[in-house]
């Protein structure tokens, strides 16, 4: 806060290690953001580990008691899509103010590996499942009082693709001095900026910014380049759908909330 940042959020799985709630105050940190992947302990703990549901709810209640704002992240997959609508009553009970819906990785092991060892089910939701269920659930959850933010993931036919690297200012800062504009690149040394003498300067090329202006039929070029595997193709030999930028999201405000 002393460096001039307008808002500071700490992400946590709910366990709140190192007595973090005793070391910071609401004057220093605006909010704690928790992760939960099910409206019930049975579903969440199957995905995130035994006891994680109870730990997350207890952490939210403790943070609220200390006066912190709270938000919650829910990663949608076929393992928990049916429970998404039930998150509305739970969020209202806990007093969570912001609800972030995320999508399971569209490519790679996360999309194909089941929650149980040896499972081979496809866990990522299909474009039709996402479009038909997630926006409607988000609207219903917002009506119960939480601000809901979620990515479009799959663009509708004819909808224009936009890359946040070109139309928004997002910076992902790492302790080693690397600064990324795209979160999909964070496991690779293609960061676009670095800190030198406490100032942000451009990193040497070739870096992630060289890819932001590339246009491909699939939409997000970073998703195509960096993550292995491929979503199902279309009948004409091209992609079956256009993937939206993961940083450009839709936001639904609860009734009466006109804040920006």
Q: Domain of 142?
A: 9-159+240-252
CA distance 260 to 97: 14
Pairing of strands 199-202, 242-243: unpaired
pTM higher than 0.85, yes or no?
no
**151 and 205 both lie in a single domain:** no
Task: Give me the pLDDT at residue 177, please.
Answer: 87
pLDDT value at 154 more than 60: yes
Which range of 5-9, 114-118, 146-150, 192-196 scores highest in mean pLDDT? It is 146-150
**79 and 197 both lie in a single domain:** no
Report yes or no on 3 lying in a domain: no
Residue 88 tokens read as: 């509305």
Q: What digits encode the pLDDT tens for the residues 166-180?
A: 998 888 888 888 999
**152 and 185 both lie in a single domain:** no
pLDDT value at 143 more than 60: yes
Average pLDDT over residues 92-102: 97
**170 and 72 both lie in a single domain:** no
Residue with the larger pLDDT of the pair 74 and 227:
74
pLDDT value at 228 more than 60: no
CA distance 210 to 86: 42
Total domains present in the chain: 2
**41 and 147 both lie in a single domain:** yes
pLDDT value at 72 more than 80: yes
């Amino acid at each position: 806060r002393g460096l001039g940042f307008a808002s500071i959020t700490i992400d946590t799985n709910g366990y709140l290690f190192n007595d973090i709630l005793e070391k910071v105050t609401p004057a220093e940190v605006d909010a704690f953001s928790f992760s939960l992947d099910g409206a019930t302990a049975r579903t969440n703990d199957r995905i995130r580990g035994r006891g994680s549901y109870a730990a997350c709810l207890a952490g939210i209640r403790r943070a609220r008691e200390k006066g912190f704002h709270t938000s919650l992240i829910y990663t949608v997959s076929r393992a928990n899509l049916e429970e998404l609508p039930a998150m509305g009553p739970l969020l209202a009970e806990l007093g969570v103010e912001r609800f972030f819906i995320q999508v399971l990785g569209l490519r790679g092991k996360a999309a194909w590996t089941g929650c149980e060892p040896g499972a081979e089910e496809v866990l990522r939701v299909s474009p039709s499942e996402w479009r038909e269920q997630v926006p409607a659930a988000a609207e219903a959850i917002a009506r119960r009082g939480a601000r809901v933010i979620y990515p479009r993931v799959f663009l509708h036919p004819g909808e224009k693709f936009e890359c946040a690297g070109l139309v928004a200012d997002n910076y992902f800062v790492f302790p080693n001095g690397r600064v990324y504009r795209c979160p999909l690149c964070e496991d690779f040394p293609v960061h676009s900026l670095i800190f030198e003498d406490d100032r942000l300067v451009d990193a040497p090329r070739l870096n992630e910014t060289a890819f932001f202006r590339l246009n491909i039929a699939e939409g997000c070029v970073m998703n195509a380049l960096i993550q292995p595997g491929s979503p199902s193709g279309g009948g004409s030999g091209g992609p079956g759908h256009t993937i939206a930028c993961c940083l450009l999201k839709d936001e639904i405000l609860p009734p009466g909330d006109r804040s920006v």
